[in-house]
């Protein structure tokens, strides 16, 4: 008897699109016969982590036969001092994706709904559907909206709230669009959400944002006991390969998240590395500075070429190629530069490019120019 195993999976899993990872660099280089490939496809920090992180890792490797501290005490202590919250308000994750999953396992199940925006981060539907809950997509602001095109439409999100709604996911700024919500509008939105609905504000790019009106959400935790803020060490702290992120929320909700958290979810190297990373403010400021210059570089480059881009405050920029972007992506690959086409987000004409150092930005732009020669924009 042949069994259709897909039919045995829970409905939410059957309906999930498999996440398409990029090819490993080594493999790509062999296929294309190129070397020294520049990867600007996953919003990783080109500067790498602080030297303090490498030192901490060197020390930590002596003890990897031991289980990590299941509570991540040293990291929570550091975060708690830095963020001015209590340790019992922090939940550590194996990347912030792990925290998103814990939120879904804690508050969602079959018959319950979670709202997120069109073009929002791809992990939300994975977390929602893997517990058989229903994801409800709010239309984004229209392309010609004068502020925040492609951004979260908070009114549309609010209108989707009903008795079954348990969680709302907001990415601020969002990946892959780079769009962001100002303090006033986000505060007004959360105020209007019933307190028995969890609002998750995903701030993976928090440290990069230089806008004065960007919200200081941790200040709102007392006012909004239903608010969960998530952040990560994968982006500006350059620890994507180690997997560490965290949530900050009320102690009551943190207690629930920690009940579903797997006991040793954050590994020993990651705990040490993340703790050390927080000690190097100079490195962080340098990375912000380079990114801010990079945003200006790409803005100017797009304007000069007549390319429409979505205004960004993160470490990536998403550009409208006014045609299927995959051939351009492939032409850039031949120049040994990897960027990200995002048809999986319903944006088949856009390329998302990670912002890097001056030299790497230029190399990427040169590759884009080569690609645009083959596929000109009329
Ligand atoms: C990169 C990213 C994350 C980070 O995920 P980790 O699991 O912490 O690596 C979270 N949210 C968004 C919107 C992101 O772009």
Q: What is the pLDDT of residue 146?
A: 87
Q: What is the pLDDT of residue 166?
A: 98
Ligand 1 pocket list (CB less than 6 A): 43, 95-97, 121, 171, 175, 202, 204, 232, 234-235, 240, 245
Collapsed DSSP state (helix, strand, coil) of residue 107: helix
Same-domain status, 72 and 130? yes
Q: What are phi and psi of 33, to 5 degrees?
A: 65, 35
Answer yes or no: is pLDDT of 165 > 90.
yes
Q: State the distance from the centre of ligand 1 to the C-alpha of 210, rounded, in angstroms.
A: 19
Q: What is the pLDDT of residue 21?
A: 74
Taking only the tens place, the pLDDT of each residue in 54-65 is: 999 999 999 999
Pairing mode, strands 134-138 and 113-117: parallel
Q: State the distance from the centre of ligand 1 to the C-alpha of 2, rounded, in angstroms.
A: 39
> Is residue 86 a part of any domain in this protein?
yes
Taking only the tens place, the pLDDT of each residue in 301-334 is: 999 999 999 999 999 999 999 999 999 999 999 9
Same-domain status, 190 and 298? no
Same-domain status, 300 and 200? no
What residues contact 29, with CB distance under 8 A and at least 6 apart? Answer: 35, 37, 336
Question: Which of 123, 125, 209 to probe ligand 1 with, by most ligand atoms within 8 A of CB?
Answer: 123
Pairing mode, strands 340-342 and 347-354: antiparallel
Residue 69 belongs to domain with CATH number: 3.40.640.10
The share of the chain scoring above pLDDT 90, in percent, equals: 93
Query: Whole-angstrom Cα distance, residue 340 to residue 140?
Result: 21
Spatial contact of 129 and 13, defined as CB atoms under 8 Å apart: yes
Same-domain status, 186 and 217? yes
> Is residue 91 a part of any domain in this protein?
yes
| Region 350-359 average pLDDT | 98
Same-domain status, 269 and 336? no
> Which helix or strand (DSSP H or E) is residue 167 part of?
strand 165-171
Which structural domain range is residue 301 located in? 10-39+282-374
Answer yes or no: is pLDDT of 23 > 80.
no
Query: Whole-angstrom Cα distance, residue 316 to residue 294?
Result: 9
Taking only the tens place, the pLDDT of each residue in 110-135 is: 999 999 999 999 999 999 999 999 99
| Region 39-66 average pLDDT | 97
Report how many domains make up the chain. Answer: 2
Same-domain status, 322 and 213? no
Same-domain status, 289 and 249? no
- Chosen domain end from 237, 253, 277: 277
Query: Whole-angstrom Cα distance, residue 208 to residue 288?
Result: 6
Same-domain status, 243 and 336? no
**How far is the CA of 73 from the CAs of 40, 228, 333, in angstroms?**
34, 20, 43
Question: Which of 93, 96, 242, 246 to probe ligand 1 with, by most ligand atoms within 8 A of CB?
Answer: 96
Query: Whole-angstrom Cα distance, residue 66 to residue 291?
Result: 38
Answer yes or no: is pLDDT of 34 > 90.
no
- Chosen domain end from 250, 277, 304: 277
> Is residue 313 a part of any domain in this protein?
yes
């Amino acid at each position: 008897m042949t069994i259709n195993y897909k039919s045995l999976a829970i409905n939410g899993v059957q309906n999930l699109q498999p996440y398409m990872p990029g090819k490993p660099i080594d493999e790509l280089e062999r296929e294309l016969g190129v070397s020294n490939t520049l990867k600007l496809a996953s919003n990783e920090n080109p500067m790498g982590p602080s030297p303090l992180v490498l030192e901490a890792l060197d020390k930590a490797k002596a003890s990897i036969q031991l289980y990590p501290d299941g509570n991540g005490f040293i990291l929570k202590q550091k975060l708690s001092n830095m963020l001015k919250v209590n340790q019992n308000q922090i939940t550590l994750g194996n990347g912030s994706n792990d925290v998103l999953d814990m939120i879904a396992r804690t508050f969602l199940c079959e018959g319950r709904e979670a709202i997120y925006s069109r073009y929002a981060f791809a992990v939300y539907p994975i977390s929602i559907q893997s517990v058989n809950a229903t994801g409800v997509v709010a239309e984004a602001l229209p392309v010609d909206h004068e502020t925040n095109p492609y951004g979260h439409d908070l009114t549309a999100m609010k209108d989707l709230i009903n008795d079954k709604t348990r969680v709302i996911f907001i990415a601020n700024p969002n990946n892959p669009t780079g769009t962001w919500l100002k303090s006033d509008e986000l505060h007004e939105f959360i105020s209007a959400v019933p307190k028995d609905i969890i609002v998750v504000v995903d701030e993976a790019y928090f440290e990069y944002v230089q806008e004065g009106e960007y919200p200081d959400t941790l200040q709102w935790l007392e006012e909004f006991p239903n608010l969960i803020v998530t952040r990560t060490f994968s982006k500006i702290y350059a620890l994507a390969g180690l997997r560490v992120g965290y949530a900050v929320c009320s102690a009551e909700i943190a207690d629930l998240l920690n009940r579903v958290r797997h006991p040793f979810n954050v590994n020993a190297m990651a705990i040490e590395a993340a703790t050390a990373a927080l000690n190097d403010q100079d490195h962080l400021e340098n990375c912000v500075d380079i990114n801010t210059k990079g945003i200006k570089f790409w803005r100017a480059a797009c304007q000069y070429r007549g390319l429409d881009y979505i205004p960004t405050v993160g470490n990536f920029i998403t550009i409208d190629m006014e045609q299927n972007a995959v051939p351009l992506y492939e032409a850039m690959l031949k120049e040994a530069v990897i960027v990200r086409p995002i048809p999986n987000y319903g944006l088949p004409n856009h390329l998302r490019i990670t912002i890097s150092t001056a030299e790497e930005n230029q190399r990427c732009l040169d590759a884009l120019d080569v690609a645009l020669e083959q596929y000109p924009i009329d």
